[in-house]
Amino acid sequence: MLIAFNKPYGVLCQFTDGEGRPTLADWVDVPDVYPAGRLDADSEGLLLLSDDGPLIARITQPRHKWSKTYVVQVEGEATDAQLRALAAGPLLKDGPCLPCEVTRFDGPPDWLWPRDPPVRFRKSVPESWLQVVLREGRNRQLRRMTAAVGLPTLRLIRTAIGPHALAGLQPGELRILDAEPAARAAPSARPPVRSGRTVRSTPPRRR
């Protein structure tokens, strides 16, 4: 089984939390699935979940070259030199980054939903909107990359993982990409689900 989920801002990319913070369990009412990779609590957008361990490994391990596409709001007016430095792969504390694809937008994409809560930024400081395609995944890598070139990240939305994209999913919605359970999965008492179906996830059970 493979599920696409639009993770809202502030939701932890795990199903349990000892501190009572919002988790995937508050939104995803599908048994025996696990996230393929991570998305920080303060980031939004596409998260893939599956009950298939080998598939999760293919999605997450860099050698399989699944690209990840992000829309990023950064503080400051991005210069051509900054964009070239970002695309070349800046040097971080844990080593140099691989080159990436960077595109500058004139403003936020028309399809982008407002964030809840809104982004806090200084009105006197300009902002820029970028699309970045990465082919590696380190802890908070893109935020560190933009900071390294002088463009702190204000908002980060993942829009695609390999061939899978948000494709109209709103925050808290999920889409069943492949409804076939993994071969080793135990039979479930739940009714079967259909591939391609978009549903609103279970409303959050805590605030």
Residue 157, strand partner residues: 44, 71
Contact 158, 46 (CB under 8 A): yes
HSE of 153, CA atoms in CB hemisphere, 13 A? 22
Q: Is 80 helix (H, G, I), strand (E, B) or coil?
A: helix
Catalytic residue among 17, 40, 52, 178: 40
Q: What are phi and psi of 185, to 5 degrees?
A: -70, 140
130: closest CA among 62, 91, 79?
Answer: 79
40 is annotated as an active-site residue: yes
67: closest CA among 164, 132, 2, 134?
Answer: 134
- Residues designated catalytic: 40
